[in-house]
Amino acid sequence: DSYGALTREYRYEVHSHGHWGMLALILIVLGLSFDRLALAEKHCVLLACLLAASAALFPLGVLLQIGPAAGFGKVLSVVGSIGMVLGLLAAVYGLLKSDPG
């Protein structure tokens, strides 16, 4: 049983680090094209805050699922992933709405 708990903990840690790395790459690429978004400046700031908060909440939630706060970790993971999906959809909308020239 101890081995099973240890491998589960290791899997969660590796999972969260992998997601942090991929989210960082996505946000870097999005940051390079952020000035091309056809959104108002206020909306761009809100979008950046949403993406930053979501990028922190999701892996943190995965890490919290290891210990006694597993339920809270699951809630943070869901909130973080929903925020990231909504933020990326808003960014795609802004890019599609922008002038390609």
- pLDDT greater than 80 at residue 78: yes
Q: Which of 6-15, 32-41, 59-68 has the highest mean pLDDT?
A: 32-41
Q: How far apart are CA 43 and CA 48, in angstroms?
A: 9
Q: How confident is the model at residue 94 (pLDDT cuts 50, 70, 90)?
A: very high
Number of domains in the chain: 1
Residue 57 domain boundaries: 2-97
Give the tens place of pLDDT for each residue, 9-28.
Answer: 777 777 767 777 888 898 89
| Mean per-residue pLDDT over the chain, rounded | 87
